[in-house]
Amino acid sequence: MKTPLIALLYAALTLGANQGFSQEISPDLRAELLEMRTGNMRKLKLHGAPEAAVLTSFTNPAGEVLSLTDSNGKVRVLNFWATWCFPCREEMPTLDALQKQLGGDDFEVLTVATGFNHLDGIERFLEQAEVTALPILLDPDSSLGAEFGAIGLPLTVILNREGQEIARLTGGAEWDSESALNIINTLLLLK
């Protein structure tokens, strides 16, 4: 496998003047991203073309209605989870670490508690998992999760800068692994 720096440079050169994911991902870039998948990131399914943006809303604890179309041009990792989900408990600290490492003007991790989850239970879950950098987002009637086909948890999707799904992973993963960081960093090169 290529070193992370070589992989990133290769991806940047492969993309050339690409204006984001509005068009299909080039076969060369897709092959490079597939090669970057190691460990449990091998479960990541990359789409050849972006899927339509989801318009279903969700909320924060204050009741503010939010939408995935309000991406502000960020690449996003969107994770569906629940307080009763054991694999979610193992995965959440890695999502927190990913947000701490890469979060900012260009990237963010969104974790959405889908289904019946009490706010105090969510807060306790995050405190026990020592998660400090992730927002509390709510999908109490599972409408957003259903829109993404979240039958089992956790489910994580990667959204491009236009809010379109470009990849998904069902089940837990180590989102702070070298493989995940290489993939996300490559996607961040796309403008």
How far apart are the C-alpha atoms of 174 and 156, rounded to whole Å? 11
Q: What's the whole-model pTM score?
A: 0.87
pLDDT (tens digit, 9 = 90+) per residue, 116-152? 999 999 999 999 999 999 999 999 999 999 999 999 9
Structural domains present in the chain: 44-173 (3.40.30.10)
Establish how many alpha carbons lie within 13 A of residue 101's alpha carbon, considering only the half-sphere containing its beta carbon: 15
pLDDT (tens digit, 9 = 90+) per residue, 149-174? 999 999 999 999 999 999 999 999 99
